[in-house]
Structure formats: structure tokens, C-alpha cells
Structure 1
Amino acid sequence: MGVAPVWAVPRGTEGVRIMVQAAIAHGMTAAECLAGSGITEADLTDENSEIWAHQEFDVIRNLIAGLGDRPGVGIEVGLHSTLGRAGVIGFLILASATLRQGVELALPFLALSPTHLRFSVDTDDDYTYLAADDSELPTDVRAFIVERDLAGLVGAMHGAHLELSPIWVETTLDAEGAAKLAQVWHLPLADVRPGQRNNRLAAPRELLDQPLPLADENTARMLARQCRELLDRRLARVGVAGQVRSRLLYKAGELPSMQTVADELHVDPRTLRRRLASEGTSYRALLDEVRRKLAIDLLRQDVPVEEIARRLGYAETSNFTHAFKRWEGTAPSYFRRSG
């Protein structure tokens, strides 16, 4: 199996904890941040709590609603990040011999970190490039996450007394977001290029080869092993059904086919069907489960029944009504009135 997509791996609550602390500092309450996400305040202090990407996106949507849908709000949140708050993967970077080694060791385990961007490193004759792919993210939270994670990178490096000074930055953000980012990176506005296809910063070739002050080879090796074991445990615990369920909930209003999910998990549909059967379920059963949950959530938000049917992929409203009666024993319109 190839690299797991960002929605397929359960993660700790470190990222949500950072966001909630930042939002509280800007006047929101923890309850407002977590509303509708299925995450409790107790989860934020429980090192064993695990959440899915779609739950974190619900928190982000709450922050956008509470703090304003404006360029820079993700940056304000991201600057609360530190390498220590990134959990074991942050300490793995700190224990590495160089920043380059730390990044290379951490890349396979990014699902254990608070970021949802796909980071990669490349080098040519002129520069070292750090790229951050945001193409897997839902469009309504994408700019916030790009701002948060690129600003968080600055905050985390600065807090660890590491120098990360790019020569120029390309970003998928618009001009206003790029201008805010330029301030964070202390770059001239002309050196932050908005509206690009990817997020990428260019730095001197020797940047990533700077020695890290807390380097210890044995500790780095131990932490890398802990990252692998933690990732394997999380994937084994949720199984394939958990990963498929997460994908179905990942993007609001977009329910993929089994072929799409199988492709994203790097397996063929027959293998996916067999693995789900071994866990006592099927793609159709999981799709039904997710549609039922989403339908109830949308009805409670007073979304029109016709719109709910469309979002859940039903060709006709009557088909959705029939399915809802099968789930709840009553028509969606009556369910809304009685709820």
C-alpha cells in the first residue's frame, strides 16, 4: 500500500488543541470551537484520544465562522504552533543531526502531526525547496490550513531556535493572504508569489544541513521507531472500514464511489470489498451509515429536504425520503418538526 491519504489515518488532538487555545485568545470559547465536531474538551487533554481529519475540519469551520472568513485568520492561529506541540514527530525532528535529516525522517509520519499539507523536499543547483501540497483539502478550509501550517512552520522553527529564512515563497493563497504571509516570513511582498499551483519555499542549499543543537542519533532512531509503531497501531485499530468511513465524511457534499476510494487507498475494488467483508461490513453499508448521519445533521440545520437529497447523491428527492423512512421510520419533514 502506498502513502496513506491524509483522511485515512486517525490523529491525535494536538492540532485541535493548538487551534482552540488560539481561538480562546481571540475571544471564542472552547465549546464554540468544538460544536458539532464530536470532539470534547476532555479529548484535548487526553493523549490517547484520536480524531479524524473531517472532525478537525468541523473545528476549522467553527473558527472561520467565529473569527471571520478573512485573509490572515489562519496565520493568527498557526503562530501558536511549536515543535513540542507537534507531539512525538516534533521531538523526532529536534533529535535529528540536521534539519534535512529531521524532515526526511518525519515525512513518512506526517499523519501523526497537526498538519494536513503534503510536505516534500527537493534540491537543485540553486536552492533547496520545501513544497506543501494542499490539493487533497476541502476548498472551504484550504486557505485557512495553508495559512495556519505555513505560519505554524515559522512559529515552530523560531521556538526551537532554528533559522528558516526562505529567499522566495510561492503559495496557492490569493494576493491578500500572500501579503499576510510575507509579513510572517519577513519577506518583501514581491518575494511571496500568490495564486500558484502549489505552496513552495526556496532557501539556500545549505539551509537544511545546519546542525541541530539537541541532536542525538540514538534518540532519533528510537523516536522514528515509536512513530512507526504508533502509526501502525492507529491504522490497525480503525481498520479499513474506519478509513472508508473517514473518506465518506471528509468533504461535505461529496460522496465518492467505491472505485475512487479504492484508488485513493492504493488497492483495487475487489481487495477493498474483501477487506470490508472481513470486518463485517460493506461499502454500501458504510455509505448508508454516513448518509444517515449527514441527513440528520442537515435536517437539524434546517437545510431544505431537496438540497439534502442533492448533497447526499440522490437523483430524486423521493429516493432520499424513502431511504430516510427506512432509517428513522418517519419522513424527513416530520423528523425535522418533531426534533
Structure 2
Amino acid sequence: MNRRVVIPVVAVAAVVLASGYGLWWWQSGRFIESTDDAYVGGDISAISAKVAGYVQDIAVQDNMRVKKGELLVRLDARDYQAALMQASGEVDAQQAALADIAATRELQLATIVGSSAAVNAAQAVTEKTAGDSRRYGALALNSIVSAQTREYAQADYHQAVAQEGKARADKNVAERQLMVLDAREKQTQAALVQAQAGLEMAKLNLSYTEIRAPFDGVIGNRRAWSGAYVTSGTQLLSLVPAQGLWVDANFKENQLAHLQAGQKAQIVADVLPGRTFTGHVVSLSPATGSRFSILPAENATGNFTKIVQRVPVRIALEGDAANLGLLRPGLSVTVTVDEKPKP
């Protein structure tokens, strides 16, 4: 072919391609931000023992799928069963003490009624002997009765007064004994509440010997072995959620100007390079990743080298991509976010 023909054709093709690329960049390309510093994440739960004991049974294996509420690990529960029986006996003892106080209260109320009757009888005797003493005193002045009879009447009056005082004192003691019973009842009620709390704690500790799955997921990183002794807080295994996966994409600081929640994202995983997953931006981290590290960089030194910082961006996966299986926490992905504003 003649060079005079080829050169114009190539030039026209180049111009067309450049124009097409320029048009695409102007309409879409300039709104695209991409990064390959991105990884799949999930709410991986570290399952730990809440009480100490020997591992009696392990109901799961590595990479095994489990449902919420399924038994994972069982600890030896004999010590906690004994503690539960002891706590239950303490509650029964305090309830029996309250019943005894109630019976004693009824008896004391009857005693108070009897004391009131005794006071009334003593008061009546006192009034009678007081009248007799006055009458015999008047008769003795007129020498109608002897002085000895008057003295007997006065002695009977003083004796009646003393008996009335004793009856009133007995009634007062009986009433104060009722106050003592009230104090004992409050003390026993407090002890009963404490015993019931101990019973509830014993029930909880017994229930903690059976460790169950908090959600649907897959078992991983199993560290529990039959017969091993574990303490409170010992990590036994990890549970990877069966759904709800996301992507944490670390964008450079010069890519964040127009990133915002709700923007569409496309995700390509290294494990499935031929498939594109969809998602959307959920949120941006309030600080760069380096600020959350154990030893943040200190730039106030003489030897300063500027390093482009990255900010984690949380991206929610949509559809079946959020389910465990196609993607797994920790996998590397490439994320592309479309920042083009909606019309």
C-alpha cells in the first residue's frame, strides 16, 4: 500500500482513538479511582472460655460450618453443678428462716394481745384497790374500821399498782420484740436476695460450660483440645461469619477529594480474576492507617521523607458476594470506585 495512503489513515485512526479516549475520560474516566491495596474483611469472632475448667468435649472440627446456637465446646461441669446445688440450698435456708420469722411474728402478736388483756385486768384491780383504800381511809378517820384494815387496803393498792406496772412493762417488751423480729426479717430478706444472686451466678457459670456459636459461620483456628485445662478468657477457636463480608480499600490521600458514602464500587478478587463483584462505599476512616498503628510515625525529625498516606475506606459487598464462600476474609482485591455525580 502506498505510504501516502497509509499515513493519513493511521493519523485519522489515531485521532479517532484519541478522541474516543478523551471523550470517555471526560465523561467517565476522570471520575474513576482505583486501588489494589484492598482486602476482604468480616466480623471474625474469637470464641473464648468464660469460666475455667477441663475441656470435656469438642463438637466441631476445623473448616466446619455451624449454625447459631450449635454446641462448639463443652467443659467439665461437675464443679459448677455442685456450686449450683450449694447456692440452691442457701436460698432454701433463707426462705425457711423467713418462714420461721413469720411464725414467730404470729406468736408474738398473740403474746401482745395477752399482754394488753393483762394490762387491762391490772388496771381494773388498781382502780378497785384505789377505791377501797380511799373508803377504808375515810372509815378509819371516824374509827369505824381499824387502822390495820386501812393499812391492808393501802398495801393492796400499792401491790395492784406494781402489778399494773409489771403488766405494762411486759407489754412493752412484747412490742419491742416485734421490732426485733422486723429487723431480723429485713436482715434475712437481704440474705435471701444475696443467696438468690449467688444462685443466678451459679446457673450462669454452669451454662458457660457449654460454649455455643453466636452466629452462623465456619470454624477456623481451633486451639481447643480434649482434656486440656483452660482458664477464663482462653481463646478456643475462631468463627468466621457466613455472611456480611465487606472490603477495606486503602486509597491514597490524593484520591479522597470526592470519595463519599453511597458511591458505587466494582471489586475484582485475585482468586476470581474473571468475575467482577459490586458494592458501595459505606464510610471513610476518620484518620490514616498509620495513626492507628502501634507505633505511629513521628515526622518531627531532621531526616524527613514524605510518604503518601492511605486512608481505609469501608465498602459493603452486594448480593452473594457478601456470603462466605466465593470470597473469604483476608483475600486481596482490586477496588474501583465511580465518583461521577448522579444527574
The structure carrying a bigger helix percent of its residues is 1
Measured against the shorter chain, the TM-score band is under 0.3
Higher RCO, 1 or 2 (CA under 8 Å, sep at least 6)? 2
TM-score, with structure 1 as normaliser = 0.19
Q: Which structure carries more strand by proportion?
A: 2
